């Protein structure tokens, strides 16, 4: 029997047509944010929580996001301890009325690298509390395996440090994770800058990409969002179509039979 | 009683619940509340009485990546 969802993105048993998850931060204006999100074709948008007296936190922003009609994925950005991420996840669940959480626990300020040890501990706690955890993690195979062992159905290894736009800096690691965890939904999260980076992630067999700065920081965020939308479609189609094997030696594509002036030694 | 509300030192003259303090500060929904780093569900705000030196965080939706 054909699985009707086989060509959709599976996140904890919910299915989505778009393989692009988009962030809501850093846009030049709220209007451009809305237009870019729409242009991206994304089904899922990331959000966060901050003190109410901080700039632009509150009902106005939340209303704009609700108007998109998209599924919301709250994050725990900026947290540096297990207690902080657990508390913020619990607060997100109440405000956003979802048990999804993009679990982000920073271990180093220089490159905003996730703390793998705290991430495992926090993931274990939150999964037991009924959260559907989408951990933002490094591209370490064993860490990804341990997260999967805990019950994570979705893993989000980085392509590069957040906001760098460097693309996939370690394709070997990303490929290995894909090979070793064929059942998990894998999303490259962070570090992308170009549509070709997203395309490459999908070509590697990743199920989706999550990005923000690459679109919000572009000269024309609305157009760039559309470009990424096309890129993930191309990458996915390329993966499903199964690329030709790479070779070390050239092989002519034009038939040699009937070639005039054929050199016969 | 001296408290911290979203990082700001505040003083309340009589014992008040978290709910009363949040209302008096003019907080607008949607928000979620933590007391001393622990989440307090909205259903428990009226029953929770902060103590001297406690820290209250009231968080609302914001852009995220």
Q: Which of A42-56, A152-166, B29-43 is least confident?
A: A42-56
Beta strands in chain A (DSSP E): 9-11, 14-16, 20-23, 44-51, 71-74, 100-103, 106-108, 113-114, 132-137, 154-157, 185-189, 208-211
Give me the pLDDT at residue A73, please.
98
Q: Record the tokens describing residue A8, joined without a space.
A: 């959709």
**Confidence bin at A262 (pLDDT 50/70/90):** low
Cα dihedral sign, A216-A219-A222-A226: negative
Chain A: residue nearest B8 by CA? A53
- The beta-carbon neighbor of B60 closest among A58, A65, A213 is A58
Give me the pLDDT at residue A261, please.
81
**Confidence bin at A52 (pLDDT 50/70/90):** confident
User: Which residues of chain A neighbour B6 with C-beta distances below 8 Å?
Assistant: 51-53
What residues of B are in the A interface, CB distance below 8 Å? Answer: 6-8, 27-34, 37-39, 41-42, 57-65
Q: Record the tokens describing residue A252, joined without a space.
A: 């002519």
Best probe of the B interface among A33, A47, A91, by most B CBs < 10 A, is A91
Residue written as token pair 């809501």: A24
Is the domain B2-59 a CATH 3.10.110.10 member? no
The distance of B28 to chain A (nearest Cα, Å) reads: 8
User: Which residues of chain A neighbour B7 with C-beta distances below 8 Å?
Assistant: 51
Chain B: residue nearest A79 by CA? B37
Catalytic site includes residue A102:
yes
User: Which residues of chain A neighbour B26 with C-beta distances below 8 Å?
Assistant: none
Binary contact (B61, A57; C-beta < 8 A): yes
Beta-bridged to residue A135, according to DSSP, are A103
Residue written as token pair 């690298």: A113
Residue-range domain boundaries for chain B: 2-59
Q: How far is CA B60 from CA A55, A57, A62, A147, B27, in A?
A: 11, 6, 9, 29, 9
Chain A: residue nearest B64 by CA? A47
Catalytic residue, candidates A102, A132, A166, A223: A102
Give me the pLDDT at residue A1, please.
59
**Mean pLDDT in chain A?**
95
CATH assignment, A9-241 = 3.20.20.70
**Confidence bin at A57 (pLDDT 50/70/90):** low
Convert the pLDDT of each residue in A172-208 to its tens digit.
Answer: 999 999 999 999 999 999 999 999 999 999 999 999 9
Q: Say how many CB pairs under 8 Å bridge A and B.
A: 103
pLDDT at residue A265 tops 60: no
Give me the pLDDT at residue A5, please.
75
Convert the pLDDT of each residue in B7-60 to its tens digit.
Answer: 999 999 999 999 999 999 999 999 999 999 999 999 999 999 999 999 999 999
Residue A75 to residue A3: CA distance in whole angstroms: 31
Give me the pLDDT at residue A6, please.
76
pLDDT at residue A14 tops 60: yes
pLDDT at residue A226 tops 90: yes
Binary contact (A52, B58; C-beta < 8 A): yes
């Amino acid at each position: 029997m054909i699985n009707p969802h086989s060509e959709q993105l599976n996140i904890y048993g919910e299915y989505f047509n778009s393989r692009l998850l988009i962030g809501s931060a850093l846009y030049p204006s709220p209007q451009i944010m809305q237009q870019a999100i729409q242009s991206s074709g994304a089904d899922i948008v990331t959000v966060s929580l901050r003190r109410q007296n901080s700039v632009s936190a509150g009902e106005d922003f939340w209303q704009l996001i609700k108007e998109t009609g998209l599924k919301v994925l709250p994050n725990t950005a900026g947290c540096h301890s297990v207690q902080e991420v657990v508390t913020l996840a619990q607060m997100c669940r109440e405000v956003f009325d979802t048990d999804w959480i993009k679990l982000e626990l920073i271990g180093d300020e220089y490159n905003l690298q996730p703390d793998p040890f705290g991430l495992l501990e926090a993931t274990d706690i939150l999964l037991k509390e009924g959260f559907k955890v989408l951990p933002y993690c490094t591209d370490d195979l064993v860490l990804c395996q341990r997260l999967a062992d805990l019950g994570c159905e979705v893993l989000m290894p980085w392509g590069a440090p957040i906001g760098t736009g460097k693309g996939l800096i370690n394709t070997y690691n990303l490929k290995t994770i894909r090979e070793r965890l064929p059942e998990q939904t894998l999303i490259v999260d962070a570090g992308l800058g170009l549509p070709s980076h997203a395309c490459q992630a999908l070509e590697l067999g990743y199920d989706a990409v999550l990005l923000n700065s690459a679109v919000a920081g572009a000269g024309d965020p609305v157009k760039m969002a559309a470009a990424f939308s096309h890129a993930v479609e191309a990458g996915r189609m390329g993966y499903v179509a199964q690329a030709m094997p790479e070779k070390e030696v050239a092989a002519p594509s034009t038939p040699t039979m009937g070639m005039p002036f054929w050199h016969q030694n | 009683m001296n408290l911290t509300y979203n990082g700001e030192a505040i003083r309340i003259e009589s014992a008040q619940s978290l709910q009363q303090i949040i209302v008096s500060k003019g907080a607008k929904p949607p928000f979620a509340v933590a007391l001393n780093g622990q989440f307090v569900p909205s259903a428990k705000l009226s029953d929770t009485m902060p103590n001297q030196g406690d820290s209250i965080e009231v968080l609302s939706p914001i852009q995220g990546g």
